[in-house]
Amino acid sequence: MKTILYITSSVRSFKEEETQHQSITRLLGERFLEQFRLRYHDVEIIHRNLSIDPPSFLTQEFIAAAFEKAELTSEQKAVLKMSDQYIEEIKQANIIVIASPMYNYGMPAVLKAWFDQVIRVNKTFSFDLARGDEPLEPILSGKSLVLLASWGEFNFRKGENKYHLNHLSSHIEQLAPYLGAEQFFEIASEYQEFSDDRHRASKLSALTQVKELANNLASI
Ligand SMILES: Cc1cc2nc3c(=O)[nH]c(=O)nc-3n(C[C@H](O)[C@H](O)[C@H](O)COP(=O)(O)O)c2cc1C
């Protein structure tokens, strides 16, 4: 059996029967899961819809509990409960699919809040000054991370002239090892704000790539 952790973060929804104001990242996510299920039947999907059920922001109490070395109090356990649950979901997953829009050149706040909850000392990374200037090391391994993105402008892909403005893809790629991801894939639809032929072509191309990637990952 394979487990896919599916994280969605757009404030827009996606419904098959509607045509207006549909989330492109959710569309790409749905098509990925659909295609994967066609190729690989024994799959469990854990869906975290962060815009409907947003993670809490970190607090001083959270940090204190996360770094506590002694036995945790019941209050501290309660503060970490959601984080524990999110981390458990990551541990279970073979593939993590993150469907994320670009908001203000980066990831949505709810997605950043989720990363802040799951990148946690002695759970998803270890910290040891004996390693010198690089004391952090990921704990989890063996997973694949798929980023399904959409943005209104264009030329934000790696190697293109506006990649340096894209803080969404580079940020998530940088964080990927802390989720245990050893492989990082990204598919993006561009030009959403222009609603023109370039947008239609880009979306279509993203959908084709999604299908191919789902087939490939399902056959590993
Ligand atoms: C609050 C907000 C901020 C956005 N910021 C950017 C941006 O900085 N750059 C960009 O190219 N598009 C930006 N967009 C456009 C979205 O990335 C685009 O609409 C994308 O398709 C959203 O994903 P979704 O279709 O899954 O909702 C923004 C949209 C919203 C609603």
Q: In ligand 1, which atom is closest to the CA atom of 99?
A: 26
Domains contained in the chain, CATH given: 2-218 (3.40.50.360)
Tens of pLDDT, residue by residue over 131-177, are: 999 999 999 999 999 999 999 999 999 999 999 999 999 999 999 99
Say how many Å lie between the CA of residue 125 and the centre of ligand 1. Answer: 31
Mean pLDDT of 35-46: 97
Distance in angstroms (rounded) separating the CA atoms of residues 54 and 211: 29
Task: Give the pLDDT band of residue 5 (cuts 50, 70, 90).
Answer: very high
Residue 18 predicted with pLDDT over 90: no
Burial of 128 (0-12, 13-18, 19+ CB in 10 A): exposed
> Under 8 Å CB-to-CB from 112, ≥6 apart: which residues?
106
Ligand 1 pocket, CB under 6 A: 10, 12, 23-26, 101-105, 150-153, 192-193
Which pLDDT belongs to residue 17? 87
- The per-residue b/e assignment along 176-190, b for 16 or more CB within 10 angstroms, e otherwise, is bbbbbbeebbbbbbb
Mutate to test the pocket of ligand 1, among 151, 190, 198, 199 (most ligand atoms within 8 A of CB): 151
Its pTM surpasses 0.85: yes
The pLDDT confidence band at residue 116, using thresholds 50, 70 and 90, is very high
Atom 24, ligand 1: residue with shortest CA distance: 23
pLDDT of residue 131: 97
**pLDDT above 90: residue 194:** yes
As a whole-number percent, the residues of the chain with pLDDT over 90 amount to: 97
Q: Quick one: pLDDT at residue 32? A: 98
Window from 15-24, 95-104, 178-187 with minimum mean pLDDT: 15-24
Ligand 1 atom at minimum distance from 101 CA: 23
pLDDT at 11: 98
> In the structure, what pLDDT confidence band is assigned to residue 220 with cuts at 50, 70 and 90?
confident
